[in-house]
Chain A
Amino acid sequence: MIPLLWGILHTLLVVAAAPWATGLTRRVKARLQGRRGASCWQPYRDLWRLLQKDSVIADSASWLFHITPYVVFVAVWLAATILPTLTTDMIMTPAADLIALVALLGVARFFTALAGLDAGTAFGGLGASREMFIASLGEPAMLMVTFSLSVLAHTTSPAHLVEFVLAGHVGLEVSVGLAMGALLMVALAESGRIPIDNPATHLELTMVHEAMVLEYSGRHLALMEAAAMMRQLLFLSLIICLFLPWGIARPGDAAPWLLVGLAAWIAKVAALSVVLAAYESWIAKMRLFRIADFLGGALLLALLATIFLYVSEAL
């Protein structure tokens, strides 16, 4: 009974905390620009406002356009629940692993891109084609990172990976460093942050993710925005659970340890959000075709991580 309650808490946490993480990043960015910035809770107000509004839908839009926000929201939510936050003892642990996570994100991306094309506007098509261009490089890199970690830990389940790291089996390994570098690069691209995409821009011609959701409004937009925020939190969680898992509760721990795990997770998310904001403030967006070099680099790092592991095991 108790694990079920914690499981429900975990499932709600990844939705409920996502706007806060985004709000924190925005606020830190504003402070770094010398502005006061909106409160960390502003994204909640924005989502609430959007949820109350009617959705305006283009005449040319098909059923696909209607269902996409729900599909995307659910897919990203499901993907986010795969990752342990406060405890490794989760309902989803036996059911899904990192490959399922990549696949769920792929589903969300696929539907977003189709919806971008569906209304037939120029910007939607532009955004969809760019998103696919980025995905074609980002997804293999992401999978490669997963593979290299699974070669190391003999599992693709994130909970077991956390156990493996916590058990102290991982020392200072070159492969882990390379995989972490690759994952950081992929995380920036996949969550649509500078230098790949600029979530704060109003310039339609430069948009990637925003261009695809340009036609959405009202509650549909709220779902798409919430999904984007969750995706950002998901990648923060992924980095935390693979490379900074200390503090997380383990199976069999008493309730206080779960609260410690929760506090540790929140603190780590906050710290990473601040780092993200600082990084974004000191770099300009990349020229579009440079993204290929950037993500190609990520793929190469991940590939090297895997090869090194094989080589070191063979020796």
Chain B
Amino acid sequence: MLGNTTLTEFLDGLRTVPQHQPWPRHLLDERAWMDLLHQLAESDWTLLGLWADGGEVHAALRDEEDGAVAVASLSCPERKYPSLSEVRPGAIRLERALRDLWGITPVGLSDPRPWLDHGRWPVSRPLALPRGPAPETPVDYPFLPVEGEALHIIPVGPVHAGVIEPGHFRFTCSGESVVRLEARLGYTHKGVEELMAGKPLAEAAKLAARLSGDSTVAYSLAFARAVEAATASEAPPRAHWLRALMAELERIANHLLDVGGVCNDAAFPVMLAHCTTLREEVLRANAACFGHRLLMDRILPGGVSHDLTREGGATLRKLCATLAQRLNILVDIYDDLPSLQDRTVGTGIVRPALARRFGAGGVVGRASMQGGDARKAVAYPPYDELDFAVPTQPLGDVNARIWQRIEELRESLSLVNQLMDGMPGGPLTRPIPTRGGEGMALVEGFRGEILLWLRLSEAGKVVRCHPRDPSWFQWPLLEAAIENNIVADFPLCNKSFNCSYSGVDL
């Protein structure tokens, strides 16, 4: 019985929250939550997110068999709940973050260390009521112990030599081989959840767009879709198509930079130089068509802020033609360079089973045989009308992640053309009704699937908004990918993951 239950069957009959859209949210009691844990051990439902709101803990799940998504909620008046980490290791960091922010304890979580709270905040449990006092003495952060002879430790960061985000990496090595890598993040914590609370939609949308700058379109889209779900409204068709167009342009720009960046980290800067010029052309086309190079704040709840003119359309078509042609040249260079392939093939392998266990999506997941893509799985408009494939790679090494990006680039270029061909006319926005409700959105950013959940008050303000970056489930895989590789190959692995720091530091 256990293994064959679908998520819908399992949650059927439990109390549901009426205003939660578009997927149901069920209220579980402690016993039902424990049943859920047992069921998770048997089934292969993916954990999409875990967050808290007041005294409640929410877990979003997806049944990969039928694509059903649901949120399970547990009220925890004693500020503790049974941990999901045993059955879904991807939950470990989410639970640690949740404990730091809300002071809600996951019972059974084996890792007692804080995650986001480095002991430098003026308070502790900043989202809980009442808040806790700040620690009086500096907090010591014990890294996981490694035992053995002739091991040495290399601490790297949080300040790096390149212009990248801050994060601390602790390598334990035996000679050049990495025995264990442990990452410590949280250095760019900015209190997004608290900042968003009580804000009107326009202001909260701006905050969402700035959570992780390179994914600004994806986050704006996720926020807009969640608001529209919560208020039972719908953006006009032309807005949907323009949003998808922007999302694909963002994906193209970022994938180009990543392909070049990985090659640069193998000391082949020619590729980065070419990729950067291509990306620059995308950014200039963005600025010409929508008035912002990174398309920040172009997607708003209810629609989009800028229309695409006829000239803009012509610019984008020309851009796609150039990109497709020059991308092929770059791919040939990559493919014909044994010295580069020698670095990428077989380096930093993520086994498919591990990617599955952590529920990792995006480039990292798909390069290890995971087929998840919110554009297909959720099929939000207009992707339900478009023809595209979700490529995957079997090997899960750095090379696979490069090829994954190249193939996704090709799909995105085709999507941009399709979007231009089929773009419907009509208005750009529809007003958002002022009403309360809860909404959730799953949107495919360039890193992977972004989950954004929010609750609106009757006055139409944000009460609670939780954005879950895809990197939450990809960072732990980096630690696994580097094992038994050499230290000198870490930058290559890290760049091929290109996880977000800001997105997970909240």
State the A residues within 8 Å of B (CB).
29, 32-35, 122-123, 125-126, 129-130, 194-195, 198, 200-206, 281-290
Contacts and interface: CB of A to CB of B under 8 A. Distances in A.
A289 B176 contact: yes
Given A202-B162, A203-B162, A290-B342, A126 B486 contact: no
B269 A200 contact: yes
B153 A284 contact: no
A50 B273 CA distance: 28
A205 B160 CA distance: 11
Nearest to B337: A284
A288 B267 contact: no
B223 interface: no
Interface in B483-497: 486-491
Contact of A287 (B269, B277, B489): B489
B339 interface: yes
Given A33-B270, A283-B339, A288-B176, A204 B156 contact: yes
A203 B176 CA distance: 15
B266 interface: yes
Given A203-B491, A205-B488, A287-B342, A281 B267 contact: no
Given A204-B156, A205-B156, A284-B343, A195 B267 contact: yes
Given A34-B273, A125-B152, A204-B156, A284 B266 contact: yes
A122 B491 contact: no
A122 B154 contact: yes
Contacts of B491: 203, 205-206
Nearest to B272: A33
B191 interface: no
A122 B486 CA distance: 15
B268 A284 contact: yes
A34 B278 CA distance: 12
Interface in B124-167: 152-156, 160-162
Nearest to B486: A288
B267 A201 contact: yes
Nearest to B161: A202
Q: Which of B152, B153, B268 has the most CB of A within 10 A?
A: B268
Contact of B270 (A32, A123, A200): A32
Contacts of A123: 154
Given A34-B274, A284-B267, A203 B154 contact: no
Contact of A122 (B155, B274, B337): B155
A284 B269 CA distance: 8
Given A122-B155, A202-B161, A288 B340 contact: no
A195 B339 contact: yes
Contacts of B156: 122, 204-205
B363 interface: no
A195 B176 CA distance: 18
Given A205-B156, A284-B268, 5 more contacts: A34-B277, A200-B267, A206-B267, A284-B337, A290-B342
A122 B153 contact: yes
